[in-house]
Amino acid sequence: SSGINAEWPLRPGANDGSRDKLLGGSGAGYQTRETQDQVDQVMGIMRNNIDKVLERDSKIQNLNERSDALQVGANQFLQTGTQLKRKMWWKNVKFMIVIGVVAVIVLGVIIGVIVSQTKKKKDPQ
């Protein structure tokens, strides 16, 4: 073993001092290690941010799909409500016509009875 860590170029977190030896001293190695640690930290934050953005995008897509489904349901509800309103209006109109016809018949019968009673009183044969 030559004292140089063969993994350090591949593994950013290797911190056994081999970088210092390779760079020729502890001062330059410390700065390099500190800079590499900062880069690693920034990369970790960026990865975390990217993951959060992707997760948020997924949630937004899900919300959009649910919103579209809700809009379709609302349109169907409106259409069905309008049809039901028309149907009930016609039913009400038909009912009023039947009530009117029955009232006319009842009035006709009452008037007929009154007229026949009056004729009998005037014509006592």
Write the pLDDT tens digit of every residue in 96-113: 999 999 999 999 999 999
- Inform me whether the pLDDT recorded for 5 exceeds 80: no
- Spatial separation of the C-alpha atoms in residues 47 and 36, rounded to whole Å: 16
Cβ neighbours around 4 below 10 Å, total: 12
Write the pLDDT tens digit of every residue in 63-96: 999 999 999 999 999 999 999 999 999 999 999 9
Token pair, residue 16, equals: 């056994």
Residue scoring higher pLDDT (15 or 50): 50
- Inform me whether the pLDDT recorded for 39 exceeds 50: yes
Average confidence score pLDDT of the chain: 84
SS3 assignment for 6-62 = CCCCCCCCCCCCHHHHHHCCHHHHHHHHHHHHHHHHHHHHHHHHHHHHHHHHHHHHH
- Spatial separation of the C-alpha atoms in residues 77 and 74, rounded to whole Å: 5
Closest CA to 91 of 101, 80, 99, 79: 99
Contacts of 14 (CB under 8 A, 6+ apart): 5, 7, 8
- Inform me whether the pLDDT recorded for 4 exceeds 70: no
Q: Where residue 18 falls among pLDDT bands split at 50, 70, 90? A: low
Q: What is the pLDDT of residue 118?
A: 87
Q: What is the pLDDT of residue 75?
A: 97
